[in-house]
Structure 1
Amino acid sequence: MWYKIDYNRLAILLLPTFLRKPILVGYVQAIFGSIDAVYYDWKQKRDFDWYRLTHTGQVCKLRKVLNDNLDPSLRRIYIGSGTSFPREYIYTEAENKPRYLGTFFIKSQNEYENTGVDFIVFVPTEIITASIYQLKYLLNYYKLAGKRYKIEPI
């Protein structure tokens, strides 16, 4: 690629052949050392930016980002779909609706349709206690706008 440059080799190639002695080569490579350091920083930044650009809010890529950054060896973080239960209402006598409720489960407010979460991130407890802020940062950066999430310990 056009951006892969070996500055040590370039320093030697720019010298005329009759001046390529070990002392002069070392001197020229020392001069090129600062340029090589700037190039290394630029290359690291470029690789980081390419990583961020190629990973999106898709579930598979979001899971990969979270596992790469927080759990690289065991890769225990996974993402499940959010819960969305329909609401069940209790009617008054004036509405002339049936009162029998059947089996009724009490759910939290976040678990109902249009008020709940869109996806649930299952994370080991030790990762939550060690790096909860990094986890939230990565989720907020990569998730789609308007999507809501919930972090559940495994």
Structure 2
Amino acid sequence: MDNVYNINWRTFIILNLPVFLRKIKSIKLLEVFFKPVVLLHLEFLEFRRQALYKVNHNSQICYLQAVLNDSFDNVQRRIIIRNAILREPLWFYEPEENKPVLFYEESDNKPVYFREESEFIGDGADFLVLVPIDLKPTNTQEENALLIKMKAQIDYYKLFVKNYIILWV
């Protein structure tokens, strides 16, 4: 099917010329006239390639990961997508209720920490995009530009209702 779009423009010009006009000068002149058409055809082929790429990729993790690696880490392909860690909520009860987790009284004046702060990294996100620290630019402006490009790629392919966090690992 791809052969339909591959055109040898020189052959096209020669075959469509009457035999008595098939001289070098007339062929060269027509090649010059066809130059804008050839450039438009090349733009069309590039657009077609990009469109087929977009159609062949979707929001599945394997495809989204492939898109990110194609764009930002084409050689080593180290960008990984993981599901966020969803924590079950802890329910607190008063001592009189005789339930498993007790909450302290204000008179005790000592807070109780049930989870470490690092355990809440995945909060609010459906998946995590883990980008190697080697890909992080040293300049803040370049880092912001990279993150904007990466977010644009992810937002194009991900489902609308999904949230994500990009982490440097």
TM-aligned CA distance change 1:98 to 1:59, over 3 Å:
closer
The one of 126, 133, 137 aligned to 1:125: 133
User: 4+ residue stretches of structure 1 with deviation over 6 A?
Assistant: none
The CA deviation at 1:34 is: 1.0
Provide the C-alpha distance between the structure 2 equivalents of 1:145 and 1:99, rounded to a whole number of angstroms: 37
**TM-score normalized by the length of structure 1:** 0.85
Provide the C-alpha distance between the structure 2 equivalents of 1:17 and 1:77, rounded to a whole number of angstroms: 58
TM-aligned CA distance change 1:36 to 1:90, over 3 Å:
same
Provide the C-alpha distance between the structure 2 equivalents of 1:137 and 1:128, rounded to a whole number of angstroms: 17
User: In the alignment, is the contact (CA less than 8 A) between 2:127 and 2:165 conserved in 1?
Assistant: yes
Provide the C-alpha distance between the structure 2 equivalents of 1:104 and 1:42, rounded to a whole number of angstroms: 59
Q: Percent identity?
A: 31
Describe how 1:38-117 pairs up with structure 2 within 5 A. Answer: 38-99=40-101, 104-107=114-117, 111=122, 116-117=124-125
The CA deviation at 1:83 is: 0.6
Report the more deviating stretch, 121-130 or 17-26.
121-130
TM-aligned CA distance change 1:110 to 1:91, over 3 Å:
farther
> RMSD of the TM alignment (CA)?
2.2
Give deviations 1:81-127, integer Å, cap 9, x for gaps: 111110112222454434458x9323465645xxx322111102343
Equivalence for 2:106: none
The CA deviation at 1:41 is: 1.0
What count of residue pairs does the alignment treat as equivalent? Answer: 150
Provide the C-alpha distance between the structure 2 equivalents of 1:13 and 1:92, rounded to a whole number of angstroms: 91
